[in-house]
Chain A
Amino acid sequence: MEQTTDVYTPYHPRWLRPRVSTYWWLQKPAYLRFILREGSCMFVGWFTVYLLLLLDAVLEGPLAYEVFLAWSGTPWVLALNVVTLAFVVFHAITFFQAAPQAIVVRLGRTRVPPRAVLLGHYAGWVAVSAIVWFVLLGV
């Protein structure tokens, strides 16, 4: 029943199976947004490498730390990090947007409204960012 033949007969018609194009993700705006979202992971990866470089610089001593800070100001690193900022923010927003669909919490008889799950993530984001700011800058 699931067999198809290349030759048409009345009881085994030749089915048409269009191939999915390699550029399927350009065919709909939603698909493009999806691929961009997945692509944000490259910038998450890059910034992790950046952090590891920072850790290594701190380990090597005060001079290495200054060299790192200077290097971080060079044009291509700066440009890359601007794009990185855009993509990690995009990643955070899309990831938090997905959370309410995945996290269904019941308190007794009622379900926590999806909006609350979303706002909880944003509140956490603000809180965590504030903590990082205070820890690093103390003000």
Chain B
Amino acid sequence: MSNRIRLQIARYRPEQESEATFDEYEVPYTKEMAVLDGLNFVKDRLDGTLAYRWSCRMGICGSCGMDVNGEPKLTCATFLTDYAPGPVRIAPLRNFPVIRDLIVDIGDFMRKLVKIKPWIVRAAEKPLAEGEYRQTPEELEEYKQFSMCINCMLCYAACPIYGLDPKFIGPAVIALAQRYNLDNRDEGSAERMSVLSEHDGIWGCTFVGECTTVCPKHVDPAGAIQRYKLTAAVESMKSFFAPRGA
């Protein structure tokens, strides 16, 4: 005898309609079931036309981000019992264009991510004979938190600035830039700064702080952004008063 809960799932079928609608499904659930399990039940047993993304179902791939009762969540890490007796309103992640049902286009994020060179940038690679790049535990601690990002984009869905101005580069991209800037093996800070210190880079952020609140991996992108603002502002003052390699 299982409990049942109603799911109100957003549907958007571009070949038939130009607005989103909500379809309702009732699913049985146990206390272990996540919202994703509910969606899988709907797709397997009730309505095979439902379209959504998911993969690892354990909070590491970042695919299953959706808007659950108004909050951006990873559906694999959100439990149906927390919404009992329901209904649970599932919509696509906010601030992104919707392709179909619960699937959004994340191309904007992918293009912005590449711009900040999310890899170790070095002027010259050390020859193999010299051995590995060494890093103490303290040096790892400097950037480790920002390396936890799984690119789930819940922070973009939560950021009102990104919603209002899609040119804003966004929280995850800045946090990932910091992950590399603060890595002692990296030498690419200057290159990243020219991208980040544009008007739609870090300066679009007004520290709402919702990105940090919704992040499932505790990356604290808001903190990364504010720290970087300080760094960039100091750099800007330095280059103004003592330009050219001071």
Q: Do chains A and B touch in the complex (CB under 8 A)?
A: yes
Per a CB cutoff under 8 Å, which of B14, B94, B210, B223 touches A13?
Answer: B14
The answer to whether A34 touches B14, judged by C-beta atoms less than 8 angstroms apart, is: no
Measured between beta carbons, the chain B residues less than 8 angstroms from A10 are 15
CB of A38 closer than 8 Å to a CB of B: yes
Mark A30-51 against chain B: 1 for CB-CB distance below 8 A, else 0: 1100100010000000000000
Measured between beta carbons, the chain B residues less than 8 angstroms from A109 are 138
Measured between beta carbons, the chain B residues less than 8 angstroms from A15 are 14, 97-99, 105
The answer to whether B12 touches A102, judged by C-beta atoms less than 8 angstroms apart, is: no
The answer to whether B213 touches A30, judged by C-beta atoms less than 8 angstroms apart, is: yes
The stretch that binds A, out of B36-44, B167-175, B201-209, is B201-209
Per a CB cutoff under 8 Å, which of A14, A24, A34, A103 touches B209?
Answer: A34
The answer to whether B164 touches A24, judged by C-beta atoms less than 8 angstroms apart, is: yes
Closest CB in chain A relative to B105 CB, distance in Å? 6
CA distance A28 to B70 in the complex (A): 8
Per a CB cutoff under 8 Å, which of B15, B138, B220 touches A101?
Answer: B220
The stretch that binds B, out of A1-9, A56-64, A72-80, A120-128, is A1-9
CA distance A13 to B13 in the complex (A): 9
Nearest A residue to B111, CB-CB: A2
Measured between beta carbons, the chain B residues less than 8 angstroms from A38 are 206
CA distance A1 to B110 in the complex (A): 13
Per a CB cutoff under 8 Å, which of A1, A8, A30 touches B210?
Answer: A30
Number of interface residues of B (CB under 8 A): 35
CA distance A47 to B100 in the complex (A): 51
The answer to whether B226 touches A101, judged by C-beta atoms less than 8 angstroms apart, is: yes
CB of A115 closer than 8 Å to a CB of B: no
Mark B1-14 against chain A: 1 for CB-CB distance below 8 A, else 0: 00000000000101
Within 8 A of A (CB), among B1-51: 12, 14-15, 18-20
CA distance A60 to B141 in the complex (A): 59
CA distance A4 to B138 in the complex (A): 47
Measured between beta carbons, the chain A residues less than 8 angstroms from B222 are 101
Measured between beta carbons, the chain B residues less than 8 angstroms from A1 are 107
CA distance A34 to B70 in the complex (A): 17
Measured between beta carbons, the chain B residues less than 8 angstroms from A111 are 141
The answer to whether A8 touches B164, judged by C-beta atoms less than 8 angstroms apart, is: no
Measured between beta carbons, the chain A residues less than 8 angstroms from B220 are 101
CB of B227 closer than 8 Å to a CB of A: yes
Measured between beta carbons, the chain A residues less than 8 angstroms from B12 are 16
Closest CB in chain A relative to B226 CB, distance in Å? 4
The answer to whether B163 touches A31, judged by C-beta atoms less than 8 angstroms apart, is: no
The answer to whether A31 touches B208, judged by C-beta atoms less than 8 angstroms apart, is: yes
The answer to whether A8 touches B15, judged by C-beta atoms less than 8 angstroms apart, is: yes
CB of B230 closer than 8 Å to a CB of A: yes
CA distance A13 to B209 in the complex (A): 34
Per a CB cutoff under 8 Å, which of B164, B208, B223 touches A20?
Answer: B164
Nearest B residue to A2, CB-CB: B107
- Using A15-B105, A30-B210 as known contacts, list a sample of 9 further A-B pairs with CB atoms less than 8 Å apart, ordered by residue number in A: A2-B107, A31-B160, A31-B208, A34-B208, A34-B209, A101-B220, A102-B227, A102-B230, A103-B230
B contact residues vs A (CB 8 Å cutoff): 12, 14-15, 18-20, 70, 94-95, 97-100, 105, 107-108, 138, 141, 160, 163-164, 206-210, 212-213, 220, 222-223, 226-227, 229-230
